[in-house]
């Protein structure tokens, strides 16, 4: 689910896509013909007794109660007592929404208390008193909850190529979700990513629809149980949600929420591959996708949601929207969208817009804009799932059971070991457990970084090892394995040592990210910051054999890093059980393998940074490492020196880091007007790290983008503009911060700041939109307006996902 969705113009180390590049080309029609799609039917969702019970219940429901069933609110924007006035059918916890009255990063107890509070409130509201259903993202385990088992992300599981493993992971995930009183997991993600620049590529199992097809049904059975053979989704099981329907992995340029411009036959053959087995396994819900197909938003495409999915493919569960996804349909707003409901979305995901959407939807049913028959169809589908979940029973028996159990952690460790892909081994692996091992890299002892996005927060950032009780970092796993064999392991993040080690293991890779912020303009790793390659080369120059463990959510161009390594292993984003890495790369005391490499690439590995999209079966398929590649300890081939020309002109690549550590984004420039002068300023031991703006009267200092950027969807995100500033002379008048023409008042902030001290301010992007910013075509990414004298230095201008402490001052 896109629990904090943003315009695809922003990416995590990442590009700001010019508006012109986003405009859809004229292409094939966006009306699907059901005859061109596979025919199947849901199994296990419908039985005569349940349908009769639903009919009786619906006869007692008021119109308001029926409309309420179709709306889902986020727990960050609703309280249990609101249910007495608004009889909503569902709540969710978004990627950065914590339990009631508790920190966002909380263990199971507060989550269970939250679920019970909403359930009690729903039962007490009188009338039909239909139970509420609580949904949450469980992308790779119950990732919102402290103490849960975090499994490897899907890209890693695809490399394991083990459908039975997926079912076991689904079972464990369901038990941990159910333990917190939550009945619905937003998964599995059955996308087929076709462009690795997409920031959600790691949520897909493979670029090959065959692997996705083999996995989808097994994960559904793991989460729900084998309801296709009869039975309820209870006793440690949860409702599943196959997502995102349809084509989210096929957008042009890998742009999140972009346009999938392909023929219908390709959409059906590639991107629908996981839905047939999911439906046949009895998947309870399917989530609509943010993206468009040939210019038509999926949230408003009746031919796909109704004619294909519910008709030809026989889906009997309900379709849930994504995070205010209905608002992206032309003519809609977050609080007004009959088009989406009439197209086939049965339940709106209206995290913060639920109140207004309830009122307008109720009015539209009364006026006939939405027919009573359409409403009844949606309500029946929702109630069908609630009955199958046993929500009308007194209690769900799995509540309160422990998370992070030893058997679940052992399963996650097994999954890590099975997912590792060996790309190079010039004789250094396996490591002798009796050796003197140096473990380097800032990621070596960082469980948060090794877990990736959708981990305790939306983007997976801001975590420390203390947030993962019971988890094991890669360093801790290596240390344990080496010491068990009589060797010695030393942690040195910067790779410095006094006594020369026998081998160095360097752990490095991508920072955690999720949708939107994870989009990148090309596949080059660390195009600007060369910290990791410098560390590898320094160790090589000292005559130390180097083993590189590469953390990433996709294949990237890392030829320089591979060349500087004696062994190179793609370890993806392994989650909390980092010991699974040592299980494979550390042998016994004599250097004999304890376990072999089993992982094989489920995504093609690029030969150049410009080689995207790159997929098995392409007419000019020429990867560095082909789909299915992966060495074992028996492999005899040694990898030679690889070319180190990326194929990318980085001077043309924009970034969300507009000003950082002295670097100005290539597609951005400063300009001044009025009574202001701009000079360089040093900071953090970096010459000319920022700019000083000295206002002698009214003036403006602006950071302009070379091309306009579409930021229309920022109003639905928690992204913030971060500015590191220093007041060098207190303002004598008003100072406003601007973006896209929208201005907020910074005068109180700057006036309160001590002169001469660096401070940070974060302003939510939605605040600029509320202040009148033209977010459809932003060129003014930052501006300071001063009405009188003031001197302010700035060293960082950056878009960030962590918005704790963010403000929303008035204009």
Catalytic residue list: 322, 515
Buried b (16+ CB within 10 A) or exposed e, 422-445: bbbbeebbbbbbbbbbbbbbebbb
DSSP string, 74-130: ETTS--GGGGGTS--SEEEE-TTPPPTTS-SSB-HHHHHHHHHHHHHHHHTT-TT-P
The residues facing 796 across adjacent strands are: 724
Non-local (6+) Cβ contacts of 622 within 8 A are 607, 611
- Measure CA 473 to chain center: 21
| Cβ atoms within 10 Å, residue 215 | 30
The residues facing 785 across adjacent strands are: 700, 736
Residue the block writes with tokens 């007495």: 84
- Alpha-carbon distance 141 to 470, whole Å? 14
- Alpha-carbon distance 547 to 248, whole Å? 35
- Residue 158: asked if its preceding bond is cis (omega within 30°), the reply is no
Please provide residue 363's backbone torsions phi and psi, each rounded to the nearest 5 degrees: -65, -35
DSSP 3-state of 751: helix
The percent of the chain in helix, strand and coil, each rounded to the nearest 5, is 30, 20, 50
Q: 265: buried, middle or exposed (CB in 10 Å: 19+, 13-18, 0-12)?
A: exposed
Return left, alpha or beta for 738; rule: phi > 0 is left, psi -120 to 50 is alpha, else beta: beta
The residues facing 699 across adjacent strands are: 674, 786
Return left, alpha or beta for 44; rule: phi > 0 is left, psi -120 to 50 is alpha, else beta: left
Q: Which of 473, 530, 495 is nearest to 661 (CA)?
A: 530
The residues facing 694 across adjacent strands are: 677, 791
Residue the block writes with tokens 């393998």: 593
Largest CA-CA distance found in the chain, in angstroms, rounded: 80
Please provide residue 728's backbone torsions phi and psi, each rounded to the nearest 5 degrees: -95, -25
Residue the block writes with tokens 């917190």: 180
Q: Which of 530, 548, 441 is nearest to 493 (CA)?
A: 441
| Cβ atoms within 10 Å, residue 25 | 9
Q: Which of 290, 738, 701, 733 is nearest to 516 (CA)?
A: 290
Please provide residue 299's backbone torsions phi and psi, each rounded to the nearest 5 degrees: -65, -10
Non-local (6+) Cβ contacts of 778 within 8 A are 705, 708, 709, 710, 711, 739, 740
Non-local (6+) Cβ contacts of 419 within 8 A are 152, 156, 157, 159, 160, 571, 572, 574, 599
Two structure tokens written together for 132: 């509420």
- Alpha-carbon distance 578 to 445, whole Å? 9
300 with 339: CB under 8 angstroms? Answer: yes
| Cβ atoms within 10 Å, residue 464 | 11
Helix, strand counts (H, E) of the chain: 21, 27
The residues facing 141 across adjacent strands are: 139, 150
- Measure CA 418 to chain center: 23
Question: Which parts of 496-568 fold into alpha helices (H)?
Answer: 531-541, 559-563
Instruction: Report the run of H or E that residue 407 belongs to, with start and end.
Output: helix 406-419
């Amino acid at each position: 689910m896109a629990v904090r969705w943003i315009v695809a113009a922003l990416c995590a180390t990442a590009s700001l896509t010019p508006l012109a590049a986003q405009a859809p080309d004229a292409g094939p029609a966006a009306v699907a013909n059901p005859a061109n799609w596979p025919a199947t039917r849901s199994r296990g969702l419908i039985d005569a007794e349940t349908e009769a019970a639903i009919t009786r219940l619906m006869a007692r429901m008021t119109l308001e109660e029926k409309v309420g069933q179709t709306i889902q609110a986020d727990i960050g924007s609703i309280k249990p007592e609101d249910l007495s006035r608004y009889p909503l059918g569902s709540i969710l916890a978004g990627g950065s929404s914590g339990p009631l009255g508790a920190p966002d990063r909380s263990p199971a107890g507060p989550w269970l208390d939250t679920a019970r509070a909403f359930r009690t409130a729903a039962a007490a509201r009188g009338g039909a008193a239909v139970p509420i259903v609580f949904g949450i993202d469980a992308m790779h385990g119950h990732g919102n909850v402290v103490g849960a088992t975090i499994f490897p992300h899907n890209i890693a599981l695809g490399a394991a190529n083990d459908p039975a493993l997926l079912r076991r992971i689904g079972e464990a995930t369901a038990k941990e979700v159910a333990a917190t009183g939550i009945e619905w997991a937003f998964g599995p993600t059955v996308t087929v990513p076709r462009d690795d620049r997409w920031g959600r590529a790691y949520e897909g199992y493979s670029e090959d629809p065959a692997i996705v097809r083999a996995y989808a049904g097994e994960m559904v059975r793991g989460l729900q149980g084998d309801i296709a053979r009869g039975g309820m989704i209870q006793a440690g099981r949860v409702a599943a949600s196959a997502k995102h329907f349809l084509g989210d992995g096929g957008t042009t340029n890998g742009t999140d929420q972009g346009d999938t411009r392909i023929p219908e036959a390709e959409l059906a053959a590639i991107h629908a591959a996981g839905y047939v087995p999911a439906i046949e396994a009895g998947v309870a819900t399917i989530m609509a996708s943010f993206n468009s197909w040939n210019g038509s938003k999926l949230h408003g495409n009746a031919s796909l949601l109704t004619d294909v999915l519910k008709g030809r493919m026989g889906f009997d569960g309900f379709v849930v929207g994504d995070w205010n996804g209905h608002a992206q349909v032309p003519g809609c707003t977050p609080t007004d969208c009959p088009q989406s409901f009439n197209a086939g979305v049965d339940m709106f995901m209206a995290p913060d817009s639920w109140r207004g959407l309830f009122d307008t939807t109720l009015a539209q049913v009364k006026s006939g804009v939405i027919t009573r028959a359409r409403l009844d169809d949606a309500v029946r589908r929702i109630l069908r799932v609630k009955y199958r979940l046993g929500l009308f029973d007194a209690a769900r028996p799995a509540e309160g059971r422990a998370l992070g159990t030893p058997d679940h952690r052992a399963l996650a460790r097994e999954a890590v070991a099975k997912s590792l892909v060996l790309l190079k081994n010039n004789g250094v692996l396996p490591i002798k457990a009796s050796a003197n091992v140096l473990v380097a890299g800032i990621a070596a002892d960082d469980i948060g970084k090794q877990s990736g996005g959708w981990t305790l927060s939306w983007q997976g950032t801001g975590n420390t090892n203390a947030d993962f009780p019971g988890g094991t970092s890669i360093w801790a796993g290596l240390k344990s394995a080496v010491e068990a064999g009589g060797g010695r392991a030393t942690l040195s993040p910067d790779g410095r040592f006094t006594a020369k080690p026998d081998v160095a293991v360097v752990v490095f890779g991508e920072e955690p990210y999720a949708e939107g912020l994870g989009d990148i303009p090309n596949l080059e790793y660390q195009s600007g910051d060369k910290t990791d390659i410098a560390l590898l080369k320094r160790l090589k120059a000292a005559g130390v054999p180097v083993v590189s463990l590469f953390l990433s959510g996709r294949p990237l161009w890392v030829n320089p890093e591979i060349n500087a390594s004696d062994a190179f292993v793609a370890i993806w984003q392994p989650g909390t059980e980092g010991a699974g890495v040592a299980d494979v790369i550390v042998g016994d005391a004599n250097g004999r393998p304890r376990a072999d490499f089993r992982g094989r690439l489920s995504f093609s590995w690029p030969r150049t940074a410009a080689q995207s999209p790159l997929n098995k079966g392409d007419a000019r398929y020429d990867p560095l490492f082909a789909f299915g590649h992966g060495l074992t300890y028996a492999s005899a081939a040694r990898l030679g020196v690889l070319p180190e020309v990326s194929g990318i002109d980085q001077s043309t690549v924009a970034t969300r880091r507009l000003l950082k550590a002295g670097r100005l984004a290539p597609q951005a420039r400063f300009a001044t007007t009025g009574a202001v002068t701009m000079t360089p300023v040093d900071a953090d031991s970096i010459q000319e790290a920022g700019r000083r703006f000295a206002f002698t009267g009214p003036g403006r200092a602006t950071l302009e983008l070379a091309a306009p950027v579409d930021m229309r969807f920022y109003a639905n995100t928690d992204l913030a503009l971060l500015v590191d500033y220093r007041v060098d002379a207190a303002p004598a008048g008003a100072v406003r911060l601007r973006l896209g023409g929208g201005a907020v008042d910074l005068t109180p902030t700057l006036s309160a700041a001590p002169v001469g001290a660096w401070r940070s301010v974060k302003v939510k992007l939605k605040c600029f939109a509320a202040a009148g910013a033209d977010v459809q075509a932003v060129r003014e990414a930052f501006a300071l307006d001063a009405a009188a004298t003031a001197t302010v230095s700035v060293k960082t201008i950056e878009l960030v996902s962590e918005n704790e402490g963010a403000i929303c001052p008035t204009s």
